[in-house]
Amino acid sequence: MLAVQFIRENREKVLRSLTIRSFEPLNILDDILAADDLRRSLQQDLDAQRAELKSISSQIGQLMRKGEKAAAEEAKSQTAGIKSRIHELEQLSRDNAERLEELLLQVPNCAHETVPAGKCDLDNVVEREWKKDLPELPKEAKPHWELAQEYNLIDFETGAKITGAGFPLYTGMGAKLQRALINFFLDEADKAGYREFLPPHLVNEASARGTGQLPDKDGQMYHATADNLYLIPTAEVPLTNIYRDVILAEDDFPICLTGYTPCFRREAGSYGAHVRGLNRLHQFDKVEIVRLEHPDRSYQALEEMCAHVEGLLAKLELPFRTLRLCGGDLGFAAALTIDFETYSAAQDRWLEVSSVSNFEEFQANRLKLRYRPNEGKGTIQAHTLNGSALALPRILATILENNQCEEGIRIPKALQGYLGGRTMITK
C-alpha cells in the first residue's frame, strides 16, 4: 500500500505510474488527499475540544475546593456539550479513516521507472531468449495432454469427475515426476541459502490483505466463507506473512524463505484451446522463493533470484526466454516483474513458468514490516520480493513435449536421481 505522505509528496510520479498501468479512475488520488486533509482537520478539532474539556474539568475541581458550587455546576453544564462534540468528531474520524483505507487499498504499487508502457501481455518486452538447440521432435509429435493419456501419467477426466475441470489427477510416473520436480526445486533453493517452510494452505483475511491479494484478487481466490479463510493462490502469502507486524534489525537481512505448496486459483472465465491440459489449472503445485531485503539491495536481490530461476531451467534443459512486464500486465503489488517462459515445441508456443517480482515497500506498508537501522532512530520499511522457482504444470508440460522420442519420453538428467536413476518413460 502506498503511504498517504508518499502520494502527497510524489503526486505526479504516482499519476504517471497509474497512467502506465492503465489504471482508472485517476481522480482517486484527489479523493485520497481530500480524505487525508479531512483527517487532519478532524484531528485538530478533536485536540482542541479535548484540551478545552481538560481545562474546564480542572476549573471545576478548583471551584469545588473553593466552595463555589454554582460556578462549578455551570462549568459542568459546558462539559456536556463538549463531550457530545468530541463523540461526534471521533465517529467522523473513524468513518473517514475507514474510507481513506478503502481508497488506499485500491491503488496499485508505483511501477519502477524501467517498466515499459503497455496495456496487455502483447506489450511485454522480451529481454533474453535462449532458443538454441531446440529438440528434434518426431514428425507426429504430440501435445502433453495426449502424451499424458498415452503414457498413463495424468487422468484429466477422473480429476474432473472428482472435483471439476482444472483439477488433474496425477497417476503412476506422473505423480512421481511431480514429486521429483518438487524435491529438485526445494533442494536447489536450499543450496542457494533459502530456509524451507511448510506453511498453512489457508490464510485469514489480514494475511491476504497484507500481501495485496485483497481486495484486488477477491474474486480469484477460493473463499471458505464459514470461517472467513482463503485458500492460498501462492506460498508467497503465508511465507511473507510470517513477518507481519515484525520489526527486524538491519543486520537480519537478507531473509530468504522457500516453501512448497499447492496453489488454488479460480481463474474465472478461463477456457479455450490455450488452456488445455496443464496450461491453466485451478489447483497446481509450486515452489516459491521469498526474500526480505534492505531497500538498498532489493534490485540486486531481484537479479539474484532471476539467476536462480534461470539455473533451474538450464538444469532441466528447457529453452526459455525472459520478459519485462509492461504496466498493463504488471501485478497489483509489484513495482517490477520479470517473467520466465519455456518453449513448448509440440505446441509451438511459449508458456509462462515463473514471475519474479520486487514489491519494494508496498507489501511492507500493509504488513507493518519494518527494521531498525544500525545508525539513527526510528524504523524503516523493508522491501519484499518473491518468485516462482518453479510452478510445476507448464514445466511438466514442456518436459513431456520436448523430450518425446520414438523410445518414449526422456527424463532430464537433473531429475534422474530422484527417480531411481530412470532415464526414460515408456508405455
Average pLDDT of the segment spanning 400-417: 96
Contact assessment for residue 382 and residue 353, using Cβ atoms and an 8 Å cutoff:
no
Task: Band the pLDDT of 65: cuts 50, 70, 90.
Answer: confident
pLDDT over threshold 60, residue 227? yes
Is residue 309 marked as binding? Answer: no
- The mean pLDDT value for 49-72 works out to 87
pLDDT digits (tens, 9 = 90+) for 147-177: 999 999 999 999 999 999 999 999 999 999 9
Q: Decide if pLDDT at 271 tops 70.
A: no
Residue 266 counted as an annotated binding residue: yes
The model's confidence at residue 63, banded by pLDDT at 50, 70 and 90, is: confident
Query: Using an 8 Å Cβ cutoff, are 253 and 300 in contact?
Result: no
pLDDT-derived band at 139, boundaries 50, 70, 90: confident
Alpha carbon 5 to chain centroid, angstroms: 23
How high is the pLDDT of residue 132? 60
Q: Which of 78, 86, 85, 84 is nearest to 58 (CA)?
A: 78
234 a known binding residue? yes
Q: What phi and psi values does residue 193 have, to the nearest 5 degrees?
A: 95, 15
Residue 72 has pLDDT above 90, yes or no: no
Average pLDDT over residues 5-34: 94
Q: Which grid cell is 70?
A: 454554582
Taken in order of first residue, the domains within the chain and their CATH numbers are 4-105 (1.10.287.40), 121-425 (3.30.930.10)
C-alpha closest to that of 90 among 56, 54, 45: 45
Mean pLDDT is highest, among 20-24, 30-34, 270-274, for 30-34
Write out the three cell numbers for 344.
513448448
Sheet with 125-130, edge to edge strand ranges:
125-130, 320-324, 336-344, 349-360, 383-391, 283-293, 255-264, 195-197
pLDDT classification of 131: cutoffs 50, 70, 90: low
Q: Is the pLDDT of residue 341 over 70?
A: yes
290: annotated binding-site residue?
no
267 is in an annotated binding site: yes
Q: In what order do the strands lie in the sheet with 424-425?
A: 404-405, 408-410, 424-425
d(CA 332, CA 294): 22
Tell me: is residue 355 an annotated ligand-binding position.
yes
> Cell 476549573 appears where?
59
pLDDT of 61 = 83
* CB within 8 Å of 12: residues ≥ 6 apart: none
Neighbours of 109 (CB within 10 A): 26
Could you tell me which residue, 66 or 196, shows the higher pLDDT?
196
Question: What are the residues facing 371 on neighbouring strands?
Answer: 248, 380
SS3 336: strand
Q: What is the arithmetic mean of pLDDT over 368-375?
A: 96
Confirm whether residue 388 is marked as ligand binding.
Answer: no
Q: Is the pLDDT of residue 315 over 60?
A: yes
The grid cell for 333 is: 503489488
Mean pLDDT of 34-40: 97
State the pairing for strand pair 336-344/380-381. Answer: unpaired
How confident is the model at residue 71, as a pLDDT? 81
pLDDT in the model for residue 268? 58
What is the number of other CB atoms lying within 10 angstroms of the CB of residue 48?
13
Q: What average pLDDT does the segment 220-248 reach? A: 97
Least confident of 71-75, 317-321, 361-365: 71-75
93 in a known ligand binding site: no
325-337 pLDDT, tens digit each: 999 999 999 999 9
